[in-house]
Structure 1
Amino acid sequence: MKVASFLEDVKFNSNKPSVLMLMDTDFSKELRVVFKKGQIMEDHQAPFAIVVQVIKGAIDFGANEELIQLNDGDLVSLKPHIVHNLSAAEDSVVRLTLSKADSLQRVKNV
C-alpha cells in the first residue's frame, strides 16, 4: 500500500507552477501541480489520456475552444493529444493523473 497527501507540505514556486510526483503506481503517475494565483500552463497536449482534479482552489481550464472553471473537488478527463491550458484564478492545488507511460519531465517542461 502507498499513501500520499496532496495538501501536506505544499510549496509554491514564484516563477511557474510547481510539479511534484506524489505517487508512481503500477498503472498511473499521480502528480501535484501547485499554482499561485495568476500562474498559467500555456497550450500543451499529452500523448496519453489524463485526468485533472482541483483539490483546492480554482483553475480556468481551456480545451477545444471552451473555457470552464474547475473548483474544489472538480475533475475533468481528456483524451490524448487534446490541446489544453490552465490558469489559476486563485492559489490552487491540482491533481494530475498520467498514464504510466507518460513522463514527469514532459509536464515540468510545460
Structure 2
Amino acid sequence: MILNNIWEGFPKKSKGPSVTMLLDTRTSKELKIEFTKDEMLKEHRTPFPIMIEIFEGEISFTAEGRTHHLERGHIISLEANVPHSLLAVQNSIVRLTLSKRDTIERVKKIDNK
C-alpha cells in the first residue's frame, strides 16, 4: 500500500507550476501540479496517454484546436502525441496520471514561459 495526501505542501511556495510525485505504483505515476492564477504549461505532447483531474480551481485545457473549461471534479483523458496546453484561470491543483514508462522529469521540463 502507498499513501499520500494531495493537500500536503499546499499552497505552493515557488513561481511557476509546481510538479510533485504523489504516487509511483506498479501501473502508473500520479503527479500533483499546482498552478497560481495565469500560470500555464505551454503546448506540448506526451509520449503516452495521460489523464488529468481537477482537484481545485479552474483551468483552460486546449487540445486539437478546442479549448475546454475544466473545473473541480472534471476528468479528461488524452491519447499520446496530441498537442495540448493548460492555463490556470484560478489557483488550481491538478492530478496528472502518467504511464509507468513516462517520467516526472519530462513534465518538469515543459516550457512554461
Give the superposition deviation at 1:5.
1.3
* Structure 2: tracts of 5 or more residues without a match: none
Alignment identity in percent? 39
Q: Distance in 2 between matches of 1:11 and 1:3?
A: 20
Alignment match, 2:28: 28
Please, what TM-score do these two structures have when normalized by structure 1? 0.96
The code of the aligned residue for 1:69 comes to: H
Partner of 1:62: 62
Match of 1:97 in 2: 97
Where do residues 64-83 of structure 1 align in structure 2 (5 Å cutoff)?
64-83=64-83
Residue 12 of structure 1 corresponds to 12
Q: CA deviation at 1:13?
A: 4.5
Distance between the aligned counterparts of 1:13 and 1:76, measured in 2?
27
Once the two structures are TM-superposed, the CA of residue 14 in structure 1 deviates from its matched residue by 4.6
| Partner Cα separation in structure 1 for residue 23 and residue 70 of structure 2 | 23
Contact persistence 1:13–1:36 (CA under 8 A): no
List, as ranges, runs of 4+ consecutive aligned residues in structure 1 with deviation greater than 4 Å. none
Query: Offset at 1:8?
Result: 2.4
For structure 1, list consecutive stretches of 5 or more residues without a partner in the other structure.
none
Residues matched between the structures, number: 110
The alignment yields a C-alpha RMSD, in angstroms, of 1.0
